Structure 1
Amino acid sequence: MERLEPLEAAKRLIAERFPDCQGALLAGSVVRGEATETSDLDIVIFDKNLPWSFRESLVESGWPVELFAHNLTSYKQFIAMDCESGTPTMPRMIAEGIVLKDEGILDSLKKESQTIVDRGPEEWSEEFIRTKRYFLTDALDDFLGSESRAEDLFIANSLAELVQEFVLRTNCHWIGTSKWVVRELKRFDESFAEEFIDAFDTFYVSGEKGKVVQLVDKVLAPYGGRLFDGFSIGKEEL
């Protein structure tokens, strides 16, 4: 099947499958100018007649499509979950999306979502930062003590996730998953993102752990460094 232009393909899908919806947006990599050969179309639907939200994957006009369908209230639950997790998937799709159809509801939704994106996630408490310091220290100790290359690989994966989360959330910045780890780090600080990439790339290529260890210590330093002695969870004073 011949592949249509993204906007045309998205509008065709809306016309055929959701002709009575109140609003629809095309979001994702094609909107940001970051599309690759394997990119799909992310389409958000708002239809007051839907009893509940759903997600569906399909092919339309030669494009793989990820469809996110909501009624006029269900999307709020997903925004709330995104804010809690620190990953702004739904608010960013709404804020950045290109309008495919609008019966007067999208302007307020887009403004609301952009405000959420600009505000960033909820600030971590000092106690929560302390807990995250402990788990980052624990993973680093495992990394330093491991003599198994196979185990090293997966400990490094955990460290990468913990480091990006710690840096971004302590700075009230959204976090990412998968390819969005690097994207969110670059949004926050290009220089730190390159240091992060270099440290883990060096380890994966050569097995040298030094740069990763230095990076973790640098991240922890402003918050008191590594934490083990004296840490507890759920302990009550006797």
Structure 2
Amino acid sequence: MNDLKKGNAIEAAQQFIAQYFPHCDGALLAGSVVRGEATETSDLDIVVFDHTRMASYRESIVAFGWAIEVFVHNLTSYKQYFHEDYKKARPSMPRMVSEGIVLKDNGILDGIKNEAKLLLDKGPEEWTEQTVKIKQYFITDALDDFIGCSNKAEELFIANALAELVSEFVLRTNRQWIGHSKWVVRALLQHDEAFTLHFIQAFDIFYKTGNKQHIIQLVNNVLEPFGGKYFDGFSVGK
């Protein structure tokens, strides 16, 4: 996004706060416009803190020439979202707060931003050995289905499942934050660019040509440091 467009986004966000939340304690503009990654379909992500609100909520509004996603919190409700994001290893709210451009601040945002930064710097919880084995088993199961499948339609969905399972496994076993949708590849790139390019190429070749071998090799390479494919001996709830 060029500087003019970004400036327009900030101005629109400030106008939005002035009209819709004039008495709030603080507000931030976050998302793709802040990171310089906005596209023609990007919206404005605005986080609002208002001590008079009884509960948090999210709302979508079109105003000032922009589609706007507003996330409204009081001065404690955001903590639960921080905690839930931490447990899921998908820190969307902490990331918005940490990267956000200040639109308004009555002296509360430094502390909240610091909370977000500390959480992001800490990284997600380390997987237990049992969790690793469970995830390893389900990757093995999906891989075997993929290898044995001869139905093109089914292969596509198995490949999608493998991409999700393997990306999560690589990131979480390295104590990295995971993502959803476009944030999957962003998280992978931040962790290991070379692996990510290999990952993308393997799946791209399959989707274009039907050749499975690159995905099969990729998955086997990911599992190899953990003992390879895991089936014999797997048990849950015994």
Shared fold per TM-score greater than 0.5 = yes
Deviation of the 1:196 alpha carbon: 0.6
Deviation of the 1:60 alpha carbon: 1.5
Cα separation, 2, equivalents of 1:79 and 1:204? 37
> Please, what is the CA RMSD of the aligned residues?
1.0
Deviation of the 1:231 alpha carbon: 0.3
Counterpart pick for 2:184 among 181, 185, 188: 181
Deviation of the 1:111 alpha carbon: 1.1
Deviation of the 1:222 alpha carbon: 0.8
In structure 2, the residue matched to 1:109 is 112
Asked if 1:13 is matched to 2:45, the reply is no
Report sequence identity in percent. Answer: 61
Q: Note the residue ranges of structure 1 that are not aligned, 5 or more in a row.
A: none
Cα separation, 1, equivalents of 2:142 and 2:119? 32
Cα separation, 2, equivalents of 1:207 and 1:137? 20
- Quick one: which amino acid aligns to residue 11 of structure 1? Q
How many correspondences in the alignment?
A: 233
Asked if 1:31 is matched to 2:34, the reply is yes
TM-score, structure 2 normalization: 0.96
Q: 1:77-156 counterparts in 2 under 5 A?
A: 77-156=80-159
Counterpart pick for 2:160 among 151, 157, 160: 157
The runs of at least 4 consecutive aligned structure 1 residues that moved more than 4 Å come to none
- Quick one: which amino acid aligns to residue 120 of structure 2? V
In structure 1, the residue matched to 2:201 is 198
Write out per-residue CA displacement over residues 203-235 of structure 1, whole angstroms, 9 at most, x where no aligned residue.
Answer: 100010001011111111111111001100000
Cα separation, 2, equivalents of 1:81 and 1:154? 29
Deviation of the 1:118 alpha carbon: 1.4
Q: Note the residue ranges of structure 2 that are not aligned, 5 or more in a row.
A: none
Write out per-residue CA displacement over residues 84-115 of structure 1, whole angstroms, 9 at most, x where no aligned residue.
Answer: 11111000000000000001110011111011
- Quick one: which amino acid aligns to residue 28 of structure 1? G
> Is the partner of 1:124 in helix, strand or coil?
coil
Deviation of the 1:61 alpha carbon: 0.9
- Quick one: which amino acid aligns to residue 175 of structure 2? C
Write out per-residue CA displacement over residues 103-157 of structure 1, whole angstroms, 9 at most, x where no aligned residue.
Answer: 1110011111011111111110111101100001001011011110000000000
Cα separation, 1, equivalents of 2:32 and 2:50? 24
Cα separation, 1, equivalents of 2:216 and 2:77? 43
- Quick one: which amino acid aligns to residue 129 of structure 2? E
Asked if 1:234 is matched to 2:237, the reply is yes
Asked if 1:53 is matched to 2:56, the reply is yes
In structure 1, the residue matched to 2:44 is 41
